[in-house]
Structure 1
Amino acid sequence: MLSRMHELIHLDAYFARIGYDGPRAADLDTLYSLHALHPQAIPFENLDSLLGRSVALDFASLHRKLVLGGRGGYCFEHNHLLGEVLRALGFSVTGLAGRVCWNLPENAPPPRTHMVLLVNLDPPYIADVGFGGLTFTAPLRLEAGIIQETRHEPMRILRSGDGFLVQVLLAEQWQSLYRFDLQPQLPVDYEMANWYVSSHPASRFRKELIAARADIGCRYSLRNSELTIHRLRGKTERLRLRSGVEIRQRLESLFRLSLPEEESFDTVLERLTSDV
């Protein structure tokens, strides 16, 4: 009874965080609602990796950071959190892994460093609330070759060898995001990939500030001091932030982050503008 009470408290806090007050049924309507609200409320960000801190994937840590702490995270954090919420609601969820090919040459085989969720409905759906500046704002039906509308860009899933390829329609061209297959992943698989992404010296998350949030009618994206506001039915605005103070202000306002109040963090933000 006590564990069930804790589960309900976690759900209440999560729903309050994303602004959801609808039914708690394990059905497609609930999945669509949560998938739309989660990336709008909880941003993608890599602050811990940038600051040289470890990234924990246990539920208590994720709940404390993303739900109660006003922070965001990257794919392993977002999709672990959503996966546990869906399971608590009664969904059957399988963790998968993807190879990110966004902005990479076709002949460059990337590692499995992206987490994806398979939601076992009839038919099954792919859920992914942790893909940075192009985070999905709707689940995708696991059916190859059909164009699927989201709250933002149209997307599709294609067959690719023994697996699948996710693409997004940008400026009337289909762009590849990542490949995945249906091999279930174990916690140790995610621990290995999470360590590489958060701690390996070659990981871009150790070197660059990356933040993103999907809002109604637009997307916000920040890479170091370069801020992009992409409006779905308007022009894309690009700004160069001139100081660490400006970066902090935008992280708090546009990305809705609760930031650490410590001098070392502000020093890191100021360093990101050194080439401006």
Structure 2
Amino acid sequence: MGRGLRASWARDVAAGERMGMWNGDALDLDAYLARIGIGRDARELRPDLPTLYEVQRAHTAAIPFESLDVLLGRPVELEIKALEAKLVHGRRGGYCYEQNSLLAAALERIGFEVTGRGARNRTRADAVTPVTHAVLVVTVDGEPWLCDAGFGYQGPREPVPLGRPGAEVPQGPWTFAVHEEEQGILVLRIRRDDAWRDLYSFSPQRYLPVDYVVLNHYSSSHPRSAFIGKTVVQLPGDAVRTTLVDRELMRLYPDGRTEREPVAPDGLIALLDREFGLRLPERDAAELVRIHRSEY
């Protein structure tokens, strides 16, 4: 990169940081806190580690992972007011770009230093996947922490330290660890069935919100996207992690047990409410049932 381009890029980044890279100033933080069940005045929150834990745990418990707008053929918008309207006031869920963009805005508004990363999903056997997952790195007292509210039912509920590769990080009955590979690649792993399983990998390269706009376009419209033509709704609970993919509901338990049950179209809307706390507008619910009936 030439000297002039480097200087221009540095000025752009500095300007973005002054304005608030994640547009946190535009977020109704009190409404967000109410949505995730934190009943405190936003002015009481401080950019410290206990607050980071509290916010991520509350967010992942309250806002389900879902990509229903992709199935319904609707655009997925990442502007903060659109995210607030959908995930906060509309009480919907969202997938990684929505979840972590909203979380980043809230953390920035509280006063945290937040940067983005792009990750490769490693849960699909040995397949090499493109960078399509958005994660956050939050720095607290000089230490970086991985924060991710958007990896669905297998994701962490709490921050994971990045400065201690190999350290086991219990989160209730679930255990995570970050492994370091060559060229600074970090891999988030989960312990299941007495074995470590890779979830995703990411490099030190910082991603900006505009990068997520590009990744979001791929995930919401490319024919090879894992979300095209599928119902995907997930929730990473403490005692059980639950995922609905098309017409099958699966519950994953800490001891490795799984329970599976078919979901008929007529029971779909009630199941979304019961299992995920997700209530769709009547028009959306009718369209979702129609799609399921056509494929049943």
TM-score if structure 2 supplies the norm length? 0.85
Distance 1:164 1:186 in 2: 19
Distance 1:9 1:116 in 2: 19
TM-score if structure 1 supplies the norm length? 0.91
Distance 1:270 1:173 in 2: 39
Report % sequence identity: 36
The answer on 1:269 being equivalent to 2:292 is: yes
When residues 13 and 186 of structure 1 are mapped into structure 2, their CA distance, relative to the original with a 3 A threshold, is: same
- C-alpha RMSD of matched pairs (Å): 1.8
Distance 1:234 1:165 in 2: 21
Give the one of 148, 156, 159 matched to 2:169: 148
Distance 2:45 2:26 in 1: 11
Q: Give 2:132's aligned residue.
A: 113
Q: Give 2:35's aligned residue.
A: 17
Task: Report which of the two structures shows the higher radius of gyration computed on alpha carbons.
Answer: 2
Equivalent pair of 1:95/1:116 in contact (CA under 8 Å): yes
When residues 154 and 175 of structure 1 are mapped into structure 2, their CA distance, relative to the original with a 3 A threshold, is: same
**Greater shift in the superposed pair: 29-38 or 261-270:** 261-270
The answer on 1:215 being equivalent to 2:237 is: yes
Distance 1:180 1:34 in 2: 23
Give the one of 89, 93, 106 matched to 2:114: 93
Q: What amino acid maps onto 1:171 in structure 2? A: D
Q: What amino acid maps onto 1:11 in structure 2? A: L
Distance 1:200 1:8 in 2: 30
The answer on 1:123 being equivalent to 2:146 is: no
The aligned runs of 1:3-14 (5 Å cut-off) are 7=25, 10-14=28-32
Offset of residue 252 of structure 1: 1.4
Query: Larger helix proportion, structure 1 or 2?
Result: 2
Distance 1:194 1:129 in 2: 16
Equivalent pair of 1:43/1:73 in contact (CA under 8 Å): yes
Equivalent pair of 1:144/1:156 in contact (CA under 8 Å): yes
Equivalent pair of 1:96/1:184 in contact (CA under 8 Å): yes
Q: Give 2:48's aligned residue.
A: 27
The answer on 1:136 being equivalent to 2:159 is: no
The answer on 1:168 being equivalent to 2:190 is: yes
SS of 1:205's equivalent in the other structure is coil
SS of 2:54's equivalent in the other structure is helix
When residues 101 and 235 of structure 1 are mapped into structure 2, their CA distance, relative to the original with a 3 A threshold, is: closer
SS of 1:204's equivalent in the other structure is coil
Equivalent pair of 1:248/1:269 in contact (CA under 8 Å): no
Equivalent pair of 2:179/2:186 in contact (CA under 8 Å): yes
SS of 1:110's equivalent in the other structure is coil
SS of 2:280's equivalent in the other structure is coil
The answer on 1:50 being equivalent to 2:71 is: yes
Q: What amino acid maps onto 1:114 in structure 2? A: H
Please list every run of 5 or more consecutive structure 2 residues that lacks an aligned counterpart in the other structure. 1-23
Offset of residue 52 of structure 1: 1.1
SS of 2:69's equivalent in the other structure is helix
Offset of residue 245 of structure 1: 2.1
Distance 2:201 2:55 in 1: 24
Count of equivalent residues = 265
Distance 1:238 1:11 in 2: 38
Equivalent pair of 1:79/1:128 in contact (CA under 8 Å): yes
Q: Per-residue displacement from partner, 1:14-43 (whole Å, max 9, x unpaired)?
A: 111111135411000000011111111100
Give the one of 221, 241, 247 matched to 1:199: 221
Q: What amino acid maps onto 2:107 in structure 1? A: L
Please list every run of 5 or more consecutive structure 1 residues that lacks an aligned counterpart in the other structure. 1-5
Distance 1:46 1:211 in 2: 7
When residues 9 and 102 of structure 1 are mapped into structure 2, their CA distance, relative to the original with a 3 A threshold, is: closer
